[in-house]
Chain A
Amino acid sequence: MTARFQLSRRALLAGTAGALAMPAIRPAFAQGAPIKVGVLHSLSGTMAISETALRDTVLMMVENINAKGGLLGRKVEAVVVDPASNWPLFAEKARELLQVHKVDVTFGCWTSVSRKSVLPVFEELNGLLFYPVQYEGEEQSKNVFYTGAAPNQQAIPAVEYLMSEDGGGAKRIALLGTDYVYPRTTNRILRAFLNSKGIADADIMEEYTPFGHSDWQGIVSRVKRFAGEGKKTAIVSTINGDANVPFYRELGNQGIKAEDIPSVAFSVGEEELAGIDTKPLVGHLAAWNYFMSVPGAPNDEFKKMWHAYIKNDKRVTNDPMEATYTGFAMWAQAVTQAKTTAVDAVRTAMYGQKVMAPSGYEEQMWENHHLSKPVMIGEIQGDGQFNIVYKTPTAIKAENWSPFIPENASRRRG
């Protein structure tokens, strides 16, 4: 039994192969082996909740591109593996994709720790990874294109908004996060940023909790007490995963209204809100580069494509899905332009690629391997969607090496 066959059987079990094995219309492809696209997202374990939708987004893009006759006249084929929310397994599966399946490009990873785990593999074997999630920055590999936001495209504008008149003019900030690399680095950057804005360390509270934390009563009442010191207070949340649900429930139960203590979250999107009654949370904020509620034709098209693919009109779209979509579209453009899928040629062709993203902005890939992206801030509404209260007029270029981390001074000059 070949490895390929095994794999497609696994995909069948997951109920996804239908789309791959029998497209409704079979366009005639020119001769040549198919182009292989690796999908490295957790389909089981704690991150499955978030990452499954990204697997489906890649499969949707593959189906779409094949319906249009493929790429370079060749069929595009997805190779799906399941790293099961297990960080070392990510590295093994990445190696399998590159060496056994010889994929031309990989879309994958969610948590920063999984990305750090696969990075040496992609660099050693000169693979190409598209990483679609907002993250803490402080990284730039020639083998990775980062299509999510860097801190200056999400965290810093969000805190600026909280400190503005519209956002309530916060003077005291509670930084709450899950205990791992992304929240800790982001909060380090934010603390330096707040200090630079004249907010003293005494006016900053920082607390971390384990993954999946569910008992928020102590922390929420401490935030309440922290807010009772006579200065407008706001919460900046880098809480990840489903720990957000009990966190927001506790906020609602303890009667913390967004008018009094607004909170802005960096990892809470439409998908995460699907599991809670959002009525007590109306007015709390999230910062992203895309919301499902963005008006405009590019987003309508994206939503229509997603609902048609997933065959369920109730499924939501979110920011990492949009980043996956944009990354895939850019890669396809770069391959068309380079007339090959060879990694080095595609990398060069990627620089300067522009795509009209579902966010309604034209996003460009820069030589720092990061996208320019608009920043949007949305308020949670009663129906689990976001009401966009602020967006930047243009897409903003990423600063993956944050100027608020002192060690980066030499790097930025270089």
Chain B
Amino acid sequence: MTRFLRLLAVFLLFAAPLRAQEGFEAVVAGLAGGFAAQAEAVERLGALGDPRAVPILRALSEGRLQKSPEGALAIDGRDALTGAPAPTATEAIRINNRVRGALRGAFGRLELASASDAERAAAAAGLFRARSPENIQILEDALGREANPGVRATMERALAASRLAAPDAGVRRQGILMLGGTASPEARGLLLEARTASPDLAPEIDAAVAAIDQRLQLRRVAETAFQGLSLGSVLLLAALGLAVTFGVMGVINMAHGEMVMLGAYTTVVVQEAFRGIPWLFPWALPLSVPAAFLVTAAVGAGLERGLIRHLYGRPLETLLMTFGVGMILQQAVRLAFGAQNREVISPAWMQGVITLPGGVEVTQNRLWIIIFSLLVLGLTVAAIRFTRFGLEMRAVVQNRRIASTMGIRTGRVDAMTFAFGSGIAGMAGVALSQIDNVSPNLGTGYIIDSFMVVVFGGVGSLAGTMIGAFTLGLVNKLLEPWAGAVLAKIAVLVGIMLFIQRRPKGLFALKGRAAEQ
């Protein structure tokens, strides 16, 4: 029996190219049909293994494949089969998810022998998802040739997944053992899927799933912690500027959120300005950081000199006035940029996930924002600790009159402090443009959170702001899976209320004379 099959296989191997010659064009023609016909044609092209199919399928997946009313296929104005110039009256062929899934499997088969490591890895990943016992042989062959360890691992997983779909129980058992040795949630899903199909192997599958779960446990904890840190970093960024204007200067600055919003819009403007300059365009986002700082610092300085300084010592009026200024800024931006959200393009290095050692997956944009928030925090601390401006600022906060008799121009220091705090808010806006909508009411979403963090951490303490932000972020993310996003937020607010009852000055209360005022 086996010998007969082997003979048959050899026969088919030789006969296949002959049949393929005439069959190829007929199969390709199916790509112009309905979605079901397309999916079938794609699968058959993958099975034929003719390399001529690759550019055609690539064009199909990218929406470049076109069909004429007669059903002739063309790519970029040339006939898909002959390469001759094609008539122009053609329409693009559209595909749906089913065809996309079939394409992934077909690419997997066709590109498993590609020269590029990335293409082979993508092909193996495609076969992992397409999983079919027909792929076992080609995957085994490919593994025999493969030298790159990363690609090998992907191929092994694809092979295991394909074995899981085999009719023979022994082969399936092999697949289960291999998948049980991984720490991949996808493998876990496949195993559970196979469990319903083959109840006879249920004990093996359960053992494999339990093994994977054990490995995933730590990773899940790490991922939740990362999400908490990420939320904390956003809170920290939003609150840092307020920690200066409200925490240090005592100005109840309701326009703080609008400073964040202005920073985000500066990012939009910088990006638009650089759009025409290709070599500079990837740097638009980093260059927006100083630009946003300068813009919002200038607005902050103007606000302080023009309005706020006349209201020192009158917190209620300051609150109302800054609230009004915030609304004016919002409406001004709405008039200048329109009520529609503006698109900020994420550079490639801020998209997608990276896998840390241990298989923990973190999204790049969130990772960069955590790093950025710590940088901004470091800069703020350094500016207050180690610069002359910081020294003068601390002096004025501690005792304005004595600072003044020492020759410090307190008015100028006030303006610079407020400008500094506003500038930090502007830099936060650049980061938030990557994760939130850039719209005129961007800031209103953050003003409450910012006050919450500053009050919780302890007014006037930067360390408190940092610890407060990360604590709130982590607590929120730990509660979220149980309580849901809405209840988690409410629970955090209630928690803060109770905490403030016990410790009205927050986590880090300032001691000494300044705190007594």
Name A's B-contacting residues (CB within 8 A).
44-46, 48-49, 52, 165-168, 179, 207-210, 212-215, 217-219, 221-222, 224-225, 227-231, 242, 245-246, 249-250, 252-255, 258-260, 262, 274-277, 280, 283, 379, 381-382, 387, 389
Contacts and interface: CB of A to CB of B under 8 A. Distances in A.
Given A215-B234, A230-B189, A277-B343, A221 B223 contact: yes
Interface of B: 35-36, 63, 94, 96-98, 100-101, 104, 129, 185-186, 188-196, 220, 223-224, 227, 230-231, 234, 334, 339-343, 345-346, 351-353, 361, 363-366, 435-439, 441, 445, 477, 480-481, 484-486, 489
Q: Is the interface of B mostly helix, strand, loop or mixed?
A: helix
A245 B352 contact: no
B358 to A, nearest CB: 16
A252 B435 CA distance: 12
A249 B361 CA distance: 16
A246 B437 contact: yes
A275 B485 contact: no
Contact of A230 (B191, B339, B342): B191
Contact of B230 (A209, A217, A231, A249): A217
25 contacts: A179-B486, A207-B484, A208-B485, A209-B485, A210-B485, A212-B445, A214-B437, A215-B435, A218-B477, A222-B481, A229-B192, A230-B194, A242-B437, A245-B341, A245-B437, A246-B436, A252-B351, A253-B364, A254-B353, A255-B353, A259-B101, A275-B340, A275-B342, A277-B343, A277-B345
A230 B195 contact: yes
B484 A253 contact: no
B353 A230 contact: no
Q: Looking at B97, B345, B366, B489, which has the most chain A CB atoms within 10 Å of its CB?
A: B97
Contact of B340 (A45, A260, A274): A274
Nearest to A232: B193
Given A230-B195, A254-B353, 14 more contacts: A49-B341, A179-B486, A217-B366, A218-B224, A228-B188, A229-B189, A230-B192, A230-B194, A249-B435, A250-B363, A254-B361, A258-B100, A259-B101, A275-B438
Contacts of A44: 334, 339
A255 B485 contact: no
Given A208-B485, A228-B189, A166 B352 contact: no
A262 B188 contact: no
A255 B223 CA distance: 15
Contact of A242 (B194, B366, B439): B439
Q: Looking at A167, A179, A217, A260, which has the most chain B CB atoms within 10 Å of its CB?
A: A217
B126 to A, nearest CB: 10
Nearest to B94: A387
Nearest to B350: A253
Contact of B227 (A218, A249, A381): A218
A321 to B, nearest CB: 15
A246 B435 contact: yes
A245 B344 CA distance: 11
Contacts, number: 136
Contacts of A275: 340-343, 437-438
B343 A276 contact: yes
A382 B94 CA distance: 12
Contacts of A45: 441
B189 A218 contact: no
A168 B96 CA distance: 10
A224 B366 CA distance: 18
A166 B441 CA distance: 40
Contact of B97 (A168, A209, A254): A168
Contacts of B363: 217, 250, 253-254
A1 B328 CA distance: 27
A231 B484 CA distance: 23
A262 B97 contact: yes
A221 B334 CA distance: 35
Given A215-B231, A246-B435, A253 B352 contact: yes
Contact of A382 (B63, B129, B220, B435): B63
Contacts of B97: 167-168, 258-259, 262, 283, 379
Nearest to B441: A46
Contacts of B195: 230
Contacts of A382: 63
Contact of A168 (B98, B189, B192, B438): B98
Q: Looking at A168, A218, A224, A275, which has the most chain B CB atoms within 10 Å of its CB?
A: A218
A48 B339 contact: yes
B193 A230 contact: yes
A52 B339 contact: yes
Contacts of B191: 230
Contacts of A283: 96-97, 100
Contacts of A165: 98
A242 B440 CA distance: 12
